Amino acid sequence: MIEFSPVSATIGGVLIGASTVLLLWLNGRVAGVSGILYGIFNRERSDRDWRILFVAGLILGGLLYQGITDQPLSTRSDFPPLTLIVAGLLVGAGTRLGSGCTSGHAVCGISRLSLRSVIATLTFVSAAMMTATFMRFLFGTAS
């Protein structure tokens, strides 16, 4: 596992912030990844193209980082596929129910001083803390 580095974390944060600002300024859209991904399958073609490019950029950015640093991306392969599918469906349902995900609410919404996004982010973080505590209690691990 790769250790925390304040330099790479700062660079990553600046890149995330810059990309969200550019998307808002140039396209008038909030960089909520779940909404962008959902829109790929539920929008007309003219609105779909930028969404596909955005998601491709997320994937290519990870591959570029891997190529530059010569370090493998941190992945987990010790979860059963059914668990991953159920978890993914629950996350998807939660983002639809919460009208957005952490990227939309925490990164973009809070920076726009949205009270709704502050409340949503506090809810996300609280639920994550409770889930990690429950998993640690139940299975002896949270990671």
Alpha carbon distances (Å) from 116 to 6, 98, 104, 110: 30, 10, 11, 9
* Terminal Cα-to-Cα distance of the chain (whole angstroms): 12
65 by Cβ neighbours in 10 Å (0-12 / 13-18 / 19+) ranks as middle
Q: What percent of the chain has pLDDT over 70?
A: 94
Query: How far is 143 from 134, CA to CA, in rounded Å?
Result: 12
> What is the reported pLDDT for 122?
92
> What is the reported pLDDT for 66?
85
Per domain, the residue ranges of the chain are: 6-139
Query: Contact 81/73 with Cβ under 8 angstroms?
Result: no
Would the pTM count as exceeding 0.75? no
CB-based contacts of 110, cutoff 8 Å, min separation 6: 117, 118, 121
Q: Count CB-CB contacts under 10 A for residue 20.
A: 20
pLDDT digits (tens, 9 = 90+) for 95-143: 888 787 878 888 888 888 889 989 988 988 898 899 889 888 887 765 5
pLDDT at 64 over 60: yes
